[in-house]
Structure 1
């Protein structure tokens, strides 16, 4: 059996020690990310996933927004300082992909295909998973580390205002990426017998 895809998947890990020591340009990275998202499957080929790719000051501004917004959420200054260390690690990366779902398309398909209306949002989430995994793996294939964060919906309004995001776009995740400054640890797996059922 060919296992090239499996090998690529094994190479995709959550990397938290990220830097800016990349040889690729922002244009090259944006091209890779956009092409990858274009080729992932979505239900009814409705292409509900949107992405905003941030570099430079825009990337830093995002994580400043996160840091400022979380200050009111943590219980103490000590806890906030720990949170701030984590946010600053994301800010130290080269860039960030903001993943969105275009809810206007979801609603359009709910109306156009009423029999399946209850499923289209769930299916858009599957499209998100496809896009995020594919981009993450494509970055890893090029020696670029990444991790996936979910500060939505706390940051939604501030991010929308900062980056002129359309009203119908719903923020689903934030993926910061950059040079790998320290590798991921060992990955642990639950028992296959608890996870898979194979019937012959």
Structure 2
């Protein structure tokens, strides 16, 4: 199978060694995020996704916050390894995309459509997953290395305070990106026969 879309899907990988060298413009990064947020589908066209992009010093501040919050809960003897990982794999990059879902939108849908009440939080996170994948793949096409992290809820309060994030935005994930300075690890695949069934 060969086409531009699947070439991009197959090329997308997780990179844990990044530098902060600029290899595309900030305007291009914003364009990618804007297009993805606008066009990625959501249940009932709820458009509940919210995104914050942090670049340069603001990005570094995020990962300093992560280290500070983790230092409160990780034993002293184990913290150095955590700090080294954050510095080398995340803080060393060029920027970060923070993903949120607006819970006021989700709750409004729950009230309007009570039959589907339990599903709306699930659908909200599914839509966020599609958004994350879209932005991740698009950034990789630009030559950026990317990974997806989940330091929430440990960092939620500190992040909301630092960047004046509305309280009804629920943090879903953090996506650091930058110039890759090492190859991604090899990827193994399970047999498709165990994962896909077709009936005709």
Q: Which band: TM-score by shorter chain?
A: over 0.9
Match of 2:143 in 1: 143
Distance in 1 (alpha carbons) for counterparts of 2:18 and 2:34 = 21
Q: Which runs of 5+ in 2 are unaligned?
A: none
CA contact (8 A) 2:23 2:144 kept: no
Structure 1 stretches lacking a partner, 5+ long? none
Quote the residue 1:45 is aligned against.
Answer: 45
Name 2:104's counterpart in structure 1: 104
Aligned to 1:134: 134
Partner of 1:68: 68
Q: How far apart are 1:193 and its partner, in Å? A: 2.3
Specify the alignment match of 2:20 in structure 1: 20
| Counterpart residue number, 1:85 | 84
Within 2, Cα distance between the matches of 1:110 and 1:49? 16
Q: What number of residue pairs does the alignment pair up?
A: 199
CA displacement at 1:48 relative to structure 2: 0.9
Distance in 1 (alpha carbons) for counterparts of 2:38 and 2:178: 22
Q: Say if 1:37 and 1:134, in contact at 8 Å, map to a contact too.
A: no
Q: Secondary structure at the match of 2:147?
A: strand
Cα separation, 2, equivalents of 1:180 and 1:41 = 30
Shift of 1:4: 2.2
TM-score, normalization by structure 1: 0.95
**Distance in 2, Cα, partners of 1:142 & 1:24:** 7
Separation (CA, whole Å) in 2 of partners of 1:84 and 1:126: 31
- Offset, 1:137: 0.4
Partner of 1:187: helix, strand, or coil?
A: coil
Which stretch of structure 1 is more off in the superposition, 68-77 or 57-66?
A: 68-77
Q: Secondary structure at the match of 1:24?
A: coil
For 1:149-196, what per-residue CA distance to the aligned partner results, in whole angstroms no more than 9, with x for missing partners?
000000000000001000110000000001111120211011222211
In structure 2, the residue matched to 1:32 is: 32
Task: Give how far 1:2 is off.
Answer: 5.2
